[in-house]
Structures are given as C-alpha cells and as structure tokens.
Amino acid sequence: MLNGFNFLICGSGPITNSHLKVLKHFDKVRLKKIFSKHTFKAKELALKFKLTLLENLNKENIDDCNICLITNSSESHFNLIKILSNQIKIFIVEKPMVEDSNQLRELSNLIKNKHLKIFEVSQFLFSNQISLNF
C-alpha cells in the first residue's frame, strides 16, 4: 500500500511548472515521476524537481504512483485517464477533461466502474458557470 500522495506528472509545459511549484510544499506529497512527449522540457522539469523521467507508462514504471497530474495537451487528457485508470484512481486534470459528449459519457462510466476520483483545475474558477444538459 502506498502512503501519502505519490505523483505521476503527465505534461511539461509552463502550467506544469506552476503546479509542481505549489505541490512540492504540501506534506504527504511526493513528486515522483514525469512523462511527456516533449522530452527536452520534461528533462528540465525532472532535474528541477528531482523527478524520474519516464519513456513510457508501463505498469512497472508507475507502480509507485497513486495520483496523476495531467497537464499535457487537452486532446490527450481523456485517453491518459483511460489508460492509467487500471492503476491510478486519483487524477488532477487541467481543463478540459474531455473533448465531446461521447468522451464525457465514457468518463462517467470509468469513474463509476473503476471508482475514480477526478478533479479538474480551472484557472477561471470564479467565471460564470457553463452547464450542459443531456
């Protein structure tokens, strides 16, 4: 059993750096690993925050992580959740989590069937709310 929050980070852009600067100050949070298709940027963040740089997301590579911060390009968010949800049950995702209503329905099923906890980070938290009725 993992103790505390052992983070896998997926993404390497400027917003990733901002999240990592904040997360490193919390007790029980350990920034563990980073994965990104932008290897150069990921290497910089790995050095700066003492992260292990991953070349892939194989089960063996992420066994010691129990939470994932997703800050990569938005078209990849849902697929990452889908892939990682076999092992990781807590996700913090830069908006948007999904790109369309089909992904939203599938995400809803994943949350229910795999008992996931997913939190969206919205930089405009206090803007007017947008609601969608199915």
Q: pLDDT (tens digit, 9 = 90+) per residue, 59-94?
A: 999 999 999 999 999 899 999 999 999 999 999 999
Q: Record the pTM.
A: 0.87
Q: Which residue shows structure tokens 């994943």?
A: 110
**How many Å apart are CA 117 and CA 61, to the nearest integer?**
21
What are 69's two structure tokens? 């911060």
Give the model's pLDDT for residue 128.
Answer: 58
What are 46's two structure tokens? 């790995």
**How many Å apart are CA 51 and CA 32, to the nearest integer?**
5
Per cent of the chain over pLDDT 90 is 81
